[in-house]
Structure 1
């Protein structure tokens, strides 16, 4: 049964389950998880009555579950998903002209080896992404120039020493989870890169062709969940810099309670220090292990001020204010009904628009547009 605190539903639309939702202007972009559904575009000028404009399909054996758009350029990922799929369809990053959102046109594609592209950030000119590549173990970090949408080109790549198998690098993690770049996010001349069970890295990208690490922190295996997102607060608070780090409630090294988030003080980038936790009260009752997809997934990559919405898997939307970084406060929540056929909610992604409206996509099906009250 739907429950809410300081939040109300504007509208719900039935859509195939999504991996990401993004809003640019009056357009809402939904990246679906399961083929043949790839990417849908909706007109949300009237948020109470979204209108579907188009949908791009993707062949089975692949998915296109992430999307970002700036103006008339949209980028989506191509990643192997499940078994099979046409061999001619390679993993990578597809670039679209969406000047006519009812008729998106693919203008180019950057291709890579292995499973393809997972997550990314996009500033309108460059894409900062996680991808597999021939000769490398696990996903590594790439910077791709899409200034010419017809010919996206690699600018640089970065990886943890030991991932470049083709270069003969010694592999030091035989007794631990293999490394995997998960999600780069750019702020200024820094790239904040979550690296799954290997924690996170802060990269200096003042020279885009030569990124290098200036900071690193890892909590696994003490904390068994992988690091999903590193979200920097754009403004200092009392002269200090802070970053919200979210762990994802999947791929646990060992059975454990649900995952949660943490606030790090990154005033000294060479020594990131955790200063507080972000969690939903009552989730961890006695420290007992709980099933995956119960706890935290990720914060919204876009937010206003210090109020950050989170997609919290089985607990829907959870909104925290981190104005006091040492004591984050839960200020709103919205738990949608489970999708048809599901036993509980599976809130997979969340974003906000310039009006302050919140868009919450379910992993199974359904999009909720929510207003804080």
Structure 2
């Protein structure tokens, strides 16, 4: 048990539980599944398991170490399976010592890591969660390249992932056949034209601007809504998992800063929530919106509004990243809503938005935890500041958040 800190700011929200994750408070993606939180680490490389069945008294269970020079920053849990990314620990590379070099690099050269230098594990591991406190690896799908970044899996035969493979300029989408979880198989690939360098394709985007690489897809039915970082939004038909097909590509960067991170469909309302991640300190990469799109015509998504940015403090001057990072993705079995959107805003903490009027989203809740005792990235000479990363809302409406430095928070929304 870890003492629950007092928030720096709260509105319609209450912090009820906290965990330092066994002394590894750096967190990236999390899944809350059958009363346990599975947290991928940003700097500690592996993943951790926390018992959250008593949300006011979360209990650290165990840490699962990643392979050498490998990180497990993203993961997906469904039924008795946990799917975990394995990729090169990019933040440990001197070439990516700061955020600008990682997020704004010329990816075709920055990620050119030769085969002879490969001391990491690249692919996807599959774990049996039938005993949640004793996960057991049962399968692995290797890939040739840097590895996977993020997966989408909500059960059934198919998983979808972003993967940086040999011959491509950046991360592309792959489809994965999970018919036999002990032997997952890559089935299809999709990329934007210009990314397949090995096939002689030539990029037609401004290379000096940033990353044309897939962050991850969210799939509803036979449609994948793909967040393509500085390539923004790609809507892809995956009815034929072996041959995905582009439906629409929308780019707003420049003039906006790009960094598209999530594209969440709300099918009952023909809406799409699209979040651009802030990736540089003090908004050096611009004001990053959360957009709301009308997708009644899938081939022509139209932006109809943006969410309001937090105004309760001068977060731009606070230090660290200020702006959106992640949203709760309405996974089956979790809290699912087409009216409430839960988003992390890095140094501005957690925010909740009411979008019942799709043309005028309104903030209805906020919680900003206090600064962490220390920064987990190893850099010195900075004041500690939160960088809230992921958010998951369980079926009871309890909110779980991770932070790159500040541990796992469990929050009630009273709005």
Matched, 1:100 2:131: yes
Aligned to 2:74: 66
What is the aligned length?
A: 365
* 2:336 equivalent to 1:336: no
Residue 151 of structure 1 is aligned with which of 178, 183, 195?
183
- Alignment equivalent of 2:325, drawn from 288, 297, 303: 297
- Match of 1:296, SS state, is strand
Give the deviation of 1:29 after TM superposition.
Answer: 1.0
Q: 1:281 to 1:123 in 2, by over 3 A?
A: closer
**Is residue 48 of structure 2 the alignment partner of residue 40 of structure 1?**
yes
> What SS is found at the alignment partner of 1:166?
helix
Greater strand fraction, Structure 1 or Structure 2? 1
2:401 to 348, 356, 360: 360
Distance in structure 1 (CA, Å) of the matches to 2:204 and 2:317? 29
Unaligned runs of 5+ residues in structure 2 are 1-6, 95-116, 376-383
1:136 aligns with 2:168: yes
State which of 224, 238, 263 in structure 2 corresponds to 1:230: 263
Q: CA deviation digits over 1:277-326, x for unaligned, max 9?
A: 113242898xx999661111111112432211101100110011111111
RMSD over aligned CA atoms reads 2.3
1:25 to 24, 34, 50: 34
Instruction: Please name the residue that 1:190 is paired with.
Output: 223
Please, which runs of 5 or more residues in structure 1 have no aligned partner?
none
1:14-46 deviations in Å (ceiling 9; x for gaps): 1221111111222211111123x5111222222
Contact 1:359 1:368 in 2 (8 A): yes
Q: What secondary structure does 1:132 align onto?
A: strand
- The alignment partner of 2:407 has SS state of strand
Task: Say whether the 8 Å CA contact 1:79–1:118 is kept in structure 2.
Answer: yes
TM-score (norm 1): 0.92
Change (3 A) 1:92 1:70: same
Task: Check the 8 A contact 2:354/2:364 in 1, yes or no.
Answer: yes
Write the mapping of 1:246-265 to structure 2, written as runs, cut at 5 A.
Answer: 246-250=275-279, 255-265=284-294
Q: For residue 194 of structure 2, what is the aligned residue in structure 1?
A: 162
Deviates most, 322-331 or 108-117:
108-117
Any idea what the Cα deviations from partners look like across 1:88-141, whole Å, max 9, x if unmatched?
Answer: 532111111111122211111111222211112112232211111111111100
TM-score by length of 2: 0.83
Q: Secondary structure at the match of 1:115?
A: strand
Offset from partner CA, 1:175-233 (integer Å, 9 cap, x none): 54352011111111110001111111111112222211111211101001311110111
SS of the equivalent of 1:229 reads strand
